[in-house]
Amino acid sequence: MLISQTAEYALRAIVSLAERHGQSVVTQDLARRTRIPAGYLSKILQTLRRAGLVHSQRGLRGGFVLQRAPDKISVLEVIDAIEPIRRMTRCPLDLPEHASGLCPLHRRLDEAIGQVRNTFASFSIADLLDESRRGVSRGLCDTVAAPAR
């Protein structure tokens, strides 16, 4: 897998919140919609909250809401909040002769990492919703239909 299970769960949760942007969604409801174990989801939401991607509202209508509009959140930001896809900025063997330039293997690995980061930075959560609405691909990874708009 290119990204971890946890990062994939975080993306599902953000997409599901984006489908209901402006509404507050409680963890149990979000867990049911995204089929993520509630305890696990709760930890992911805390991490996303610390990263400034969601915030929680207290009270009767409390729950989680996206902190920003879906077009202002890239897929990369969600992944990086959970488990950053780090560039290989230095030789993992700490070889002094590679201090100022990586060897061909690590340079190629770093280029691939850069390519993936660019891909994930190039589309927003809103792009995923738009594709779904335009019928480019089917629905969203959400097990409960979104309310009619």
Which of 126, 131, 7, 35 has its CA nearest to residue 139? 131
d(CA 87, CA 133): 34
Cβ proximity to its own copies: between 62 and 92 the closer is: 92
Q: Supply the minimum distance, in Å, between the C-beta of residue 22 and its own copies.
A: 20
Q: Which is nearer to its own copies, 62 or 84 (CB)?
A: 84
Shortest Å distance, C-beta 38 to its own copies: 16
DSSP string, 10-78: HHHHHHHHHHTTTS-B-HHHHHHHHT--HHHHHHHHHHHHHTTSEEEE-STT-EEEESS-GGG-BHHHH
Residue 106: CB minimum distance to its own copies, A: 6
Q: Which is nearer to its own copies, 62 or 121 (CB)?
A: 121
Binding site for its own copies (CB under 8 A): 1-3, 8, 11-12, 15, 34-35, 75, 85-86, 91-93, 95, 97-98, 100-109, 111-113, 115-116, 119-120, 123, 127-129, 131-132, 136-141, 143
